[in-house]
Structure 1
Amino acid sequence: MSDWTSTAIALLEADANRSADTHLHLFPLPPEWGIDLYLKDESVHPTGSLKHRLARSLILYGLVNGRIREDTTLVESSSGSTAVSEAYFARMLGLPFITVVPRSTVQEKIDLIEFYGGTCHFVDRAEDMSPEAQRLASDCTGHYLDQFTFAERATDWRGNNNIAESIFRQMEREPHPVPAWMVMSAGTGGTSATLGRYLRYKRHATRLCVADVEHSAFFDGYRTADAECRCERASQIEGVGRPRVEPSFVPGVIDRMVRVPDAASIAAMNVLSRRLGRRVGGSTGTNFFALCWLAAEMKASGRQGSLVTLICDSGERYLKTYYDPAWLAEKGLDPAPYESLVEAVLAGGSFELPLEEA
C-alpha cells in the first residue's frame, strides 16, 4: 500500500471520528397506544444527508481495492445527495470529481456539488446516467464509484457502527428496544440491504419494510421476483426510485414492500416538517408515510412496539420543488387529501387508503 493510500484512509477515518453519531428522535404519540415512532436523523451529517455514510464507504472500498490512487479522477452517477457527499470527500483527498446527473436535478444540489469542487455532467434521461458515467471514467482513466452496484457491498453490514448497529445501540434504553419494524425507501438499495442483513445476522425479531415510490422498478421487481423489471418514467421523489432494479437492491432481506404515491410522500413530508418545526426532504416523507401506515395497522390489531425510519436529508434542498406550490401544480401533485389522512392517523384514526403491497 502506498503512503498516499495510507494517508487517504486515515483522513477518511478521522472524518468519521469527528462526526458524532446522528440523533434518534422520538416522535410523540399518545402513550396509551403503546406504540413509539423513532426518526434517525441523517440530515445532520457534514454533507447533510444519509449519503455521507455511503460516500465514505464507496471511496474506502475503492482505496482498499487499489482502484483509487493519488492521480485518480472519481466519477459517479447520482441525482444529487450521493454526489454532494462524494465531492466533499474527493476534495478532502485532493482528487478530481465528476458526477453524471439528470437535468431535472434541483439547483440547490448542483450548487452544493460545485461548492465542494465537483463537476456536473448532465443527461436528459435517468437511464442514461450509468452508461455515461462508465464512458467518462473510461475516457479519463478514472474510477467509477458506481453507487448502484457497490452500495450493498461497500458497507460493513455486520457492524462497524453502520446505521443499523447505531440504531440498536441508541434504542437500548427505550420501552421497546427491539423495533417491530424498520422502514426504508430504496434509491441504490444499499441501506435496505445493510438494515436487512444486520437484522438477520443479529437474529432480531425486527422486520424490514421497504417503501417504494411511483415510477420505480423496485416494487414490481420485488413483487414478481424479476430483476429485469423496468420503469419508463422517472421518479419525482429525488434520491429514491429507479428505472431499473439496481444491483445493490437485495430483495431477500426484505419482509414487506409498499408503494407510496408521490403526492402522499409530499403530504407526509409536510406533516412531519410541521411537527418537527423544520423542513425534511421528499424521501423522508415516503418513509414517514409508510411508518404511519404500519403504526395504524399495529394500533388496529392492538399490538404494541416501536417503529424506526430515517430522516434522509433536509428540506432546504427542495424549496423550489416540493415546497413550491407552482412546481406541485405543474407536476399534477395535490398533497392535501393525503395530509388530512396522515393527520387523522396521528390523531388515532384508521388508515383509510388501500396501498399496493407485496
Structure 2
Amino acid sequence: MAMPHTLKNKSVLAGFFLLVVTAIGTWGYYLLGYLEHGSPLWSLGDCFYMTVITLTTVGFGEILDLANVAGARLFTIFILLSGLGLAAYFVSTLTAFLVEGELTNVFWRKKMAQQIRKLSGHIIVCGVGRIGCSIMEELQRTNTSFVVIDPDEQRIRRLQVQLGDFPAVLGDATHAGDLEEAMVATAMGVISTLGDDKDNLCVVVTCRQLNPTLRIISSCKDAEFAGKLELIGAEVVMPNAIGGLRIASQMLRPQVVRYLDLMLRDKKCPVRIADVTLSEGSNLLGEPLSAINFDDFGPLLVMAIIRKDNPSPLYNPQRSVGLLEGDTLVVQTDIDSLERFRRLHA
C-alpha cells in the first residue's frame, strides 16, 4: 500500500537531509584544511564536532582555527543557514508526530494487523459506504468474523466507535497487497461494495487470482457489468433493482415485507432466516428430517431444502424426507440456536 505524505514521512525526510548537511559540513571542513595546507589539518572527528555545534548553535566556540583557512568562515555561514532551518523543521515535525496522533496511528495499524493475522474463515468487506455499513452491522449481529478494507481512516475510526472494534486494513481493495494483508487466502468470502463497477470488477478479478475457491459477492449498478462479474465467478447484487422490487412488494404485500424486515433489520429481533449446508461429515446424512431434535434448538423451523443437484427448493419438507450430502436447509431460528445447530450437524 502506498503510504500517504504523513508527518512520519516528513520527519524521516527532514532527518535524512539533516544528515546530508552534517556530512557535507564534516567533509567540507576536512577538505578546506587539506587544500590550505596540502595535508590533513583537522581530524574528521574535530570537523564533525565543529559541524554539530554550528548546526545546533551551542556556542562553545570554534575548535578549528578558521581564521587562517581561506573560505572557512563563509562555509560555516553556509552550513549554519542551510542546516538551522532543517534542524528546526525536523524537531517540529518530530514533535508533531509524537503529539498529534501519528504515533497512535502506527500502534493502531499494528493492532489491526495482529487481529487480522489470527483470522480464518472470515469475510472481507471492501468499502464501507452505506451498503458496506449495513453489511457490517448484520455480520456483527450474526457473530460473523470480518475484515474491512477502506482508504478512509477517519471513516473506519468513526465506525469502530459506532459499531465496536473490528479489524480493518487501511488501503485500496483493488490492490493485491491490501487483499493479502486482509488474509484473502484463508477467507471464506469477499463482499465488494465499492462505488464504481470498474473497481468492483478489479476486486473480483484480483480475489479470484489470489484464491480461486473464494466465494465473491459484488454490488453492481450497471447491468453491462453484471455479466462480466458473473463470468469470472462472482455473485451479483444490483441494489437499484432490489430497491425497486422492495418498493413494489411494500405496496403489494405489506405484511410479508414487515415480517421479513423484523428478522432482517430489527436489531432487537433475535430470529433470522439462514441456510445450513450438510457437509460430508454431517451426522444427519442418510437420516430423515425427523432425526433432528427440534426441541434442542429453540424455535427452529426448516422452511425448505435445496438439493446440491437441483436448484429448485423443496418447500415445507415433510419430516420423512431423507437428508443427503450437500443439502442446504433453509431454516428460521434465533442466532444462538443456529450456531449450535451448525456445530452439531453441519
Same fold (TM over 0.5): no
Query: Shorter-chain-normalised TM-score: which range?
Result: under 0.3
- Per the normalisation by structure 1, the TM-score is 0.23
Larger Rg: 2
**More helix by proportion, 1 or 2?**
2
Higher relative contact order structure (alpha carbons within 8 Å, sequence separation ≥ 6): 1
